[in-house]
């Protein structure tokens, strides 16, 4: 039972994250549509994440935290640029140009991009002669094809239960926003590329700095600093930094604590156990949750191109996941056979000759020596007695 629970923990952790990301998509969309600057949102998000995670890192990892080296520091700086600055700002621009449902569907291309990068950096094994590797390659091609469908084909509106009434009221605004749809999709794909690079570099960094909470805190701090510098360059109006008790504060705190602080930590732990491809394997669940919430809360409309592209991406994604799971089964069975071979080589699996107890042998030998001495003494004594006449 304990082994089953341990095996289920990575799955449950990543599935729970998808619910957290779905809430972030909805809250962030409301915030951006009310005029909050996306650069400012990214900075506040990581400030909130730092305050949420840093105390746990200081207390729980004070004895296990490794030394900071120049190599690790440079990797942390690059991690802080890839995800908190590059990925999130591109994502916010794409989200503002499209919709929460479309953005969550477009994120499904992330596992395919991650698989390509992991193969390039030798984090994934690919043998084209084996079926699991063929499934991963084919799945990646299908995933990229689905992303191209979502980018190049918008299609008619697909009516859902909660969006039928909003179709006519949004017809004019849809016409004016068509020109931003392709640009928004490209921004989202660029966001996925930065996010995939973050997972790959995180996998390498954890090998040198295996302290997940401390690494998460440092990424959030450096991300907030770098993001603030970028914001001061692109946004000169200081009133953009103002916060109130509204969706701006909610989006900053919620996305920072849940989707940066907690998410970075959980992804780091699962990344160390299962690899970067597994971490990104459950994004279609987030798409489904976001589509339901978006239709209810935001009255968003789905287009046929988004539906077809999302289905295509999901098919390719699970082809990659199936190939990954089969490879893990082969690796586990091969490691088990190697461990059995090691036992045989060490003599643990071979028959051995019985070895007598040395103490018993010694006692027996001492007894035999005493008997022999006694017989010799008796013989000498008898030799000294004169024979009777």
Residues in Cβ contact with 158 at an 8 Å cutoff, skipping those fewer than 6 apart:
301, 302, 303, 304, 307
User: Long-range contacts for 58-63 (Cβ within 8 Å, ≥24 apart)?
Assistant: 60/213, 61/211, 61/213, 61/214
pLDDT of residue 153: 80
DSSP E strands: which ranges in 122-259? 157-158
pLDDT digits (tens, 9 = 90+) for 211-231: 999 999 999 999 999 999 999
Give the integer Cα–Cα distance in Å for 223 and 45: 10
Q: Quote the pTM value.
A: 0.71
Q: Collapsing DSSP states into helix, strand and coil, what is residue 158?
A: strand
pLDDT digits (tens, 9 = 90+) for 192-213: 999 999 999 999 999 999 999 9
* Residue that wins the pLDDT comparison between 143 and 233: 233
Cβ contact 303:154 at 8 Å: yes
Give the integer Cα–Cα distance in Å for 112 and 283: 11
* Residue that wins the pLDDT comparison between 191 and 114: 191
Cβ contact 75:204 at 8 Å: yes
Q: Collapsing DSSP states into helix, strand and coil, what is residue 235?
A: coil
pLDDT of residue 291: 77
Residues in Cβ contact with 319 at an 8 Å cutoff, skipping those fewer than 6 apart:
135, 136, 138, 139, 142
**Dihedral in degrees, nearest 10, Cα atoms 139, 144, 148, 151:** 110
Query: What pLDDT band is residue 1 in, cutting at 50, 70 and 90?
Result: low
Give the integer Cα–Cα distance in Å for 177 and 301: 13
Residues in Cβ contact with 173 at an 8 Å cutoff, skipping those fewer than 6 apart:
none
Query: What pLDDT band is residue 46 in, cutting at 50, 70 and 90?
Result: very high
Mean of the pLDDT values across residues 332-358? 54
| Phi-psi map region of 156: left, alpha, beta (phi>0 left; psi -120 to 50 alpha) | beta
Summary mean pLDDT of the chain: 79
pLDDT digits (tens, 9 = 90+) for 114-168: 888 888 888 877 888 888 888 888 888 887 788 778 767 878 877 655 545 444 4
Residues in Cβ contact with 318 at an 8 Å cutoff, skipping those fewer than 6 apart:
139, 284
pLDDT of residue 72: 95
Query: For residue 302, what are the β-bridge partners?
Result: 158
């Amino acid at each position: 039972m304990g082994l089953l629970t341990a095996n289920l923990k990575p799955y449950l952790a990543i599935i729970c994250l998808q619910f957290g990301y779905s809430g972030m998509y909805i809250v962030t969309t409301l915030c951006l549509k009310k005029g909050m600057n996306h650069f400012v949102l990214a900075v506040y998000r990581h400030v909130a994440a730092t305050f949420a995670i840093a105390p746990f890192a200081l207390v729980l990892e004070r004895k296990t935290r490794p030394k900071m080296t120049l190599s690790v520091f440079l990797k942390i700086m690059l991690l802080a640029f890839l995800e908190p600055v590059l990925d999130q700002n591109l994502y916010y621009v794409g989200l503002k140009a499209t919709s929460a449902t479309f953005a969550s569907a477009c994120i499904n291309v992330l596992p395919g991009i991650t698989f390509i990068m992991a193969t390039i950096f030798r984090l994934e094994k690919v043998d084209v002669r084996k079926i699991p590797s063929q499934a991963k390659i084919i799945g990646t091609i299908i995933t990229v094809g689905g992303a191209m469908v979502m980018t190049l084909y918008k299609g008619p509106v697909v009516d859902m239960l909660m969006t039928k009434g909003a179709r006519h009221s949004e017809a004019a605004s849809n016409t004016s926003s068509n020109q931003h749809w392709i640009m928004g999709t490209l921004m989202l794909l660029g966001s996925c590329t930065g996010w995939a690079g973050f997972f790959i570099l995180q996998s390498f960094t954890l090998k040198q700095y295996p302290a997940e909470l401390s690494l998460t805190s440092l990424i959030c701090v450096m991300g907030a600093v770098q993001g603030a510098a970028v914001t001061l360059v692109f946004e000169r109006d200081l009133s953009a930094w103002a916060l109130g008790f509204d969706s701006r504060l909610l989006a900053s705190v919620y996305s920072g604590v849940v989707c940066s602080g907690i998410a970075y930590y959980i992804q780091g732990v699962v990344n160390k156990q299962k690899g970067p491809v597994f971490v990104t394997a459950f994004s279609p669940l987030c798409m489904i949750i976001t589509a339901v919430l978006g239709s209810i809360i935001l009255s968003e409309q789905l287009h046929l191109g988004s539906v077809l592209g999302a289905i295509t991406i999901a098919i390719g994604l699970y082809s990659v996941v199936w190939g990954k799971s089969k490879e893990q089964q082969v690796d586990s069975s091969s490691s088990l056979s190697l461990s059995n071979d090691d036992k045989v080589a060490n003599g643990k699996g071979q028959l051995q000759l019985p070895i007598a107890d040395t103490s018993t042998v010694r006692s027996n030998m001492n007894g035999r020596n005493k008997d022999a001495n006694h017989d010799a003494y008796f013989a000498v004594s008898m030799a000294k007695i004169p024979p009777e006449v």
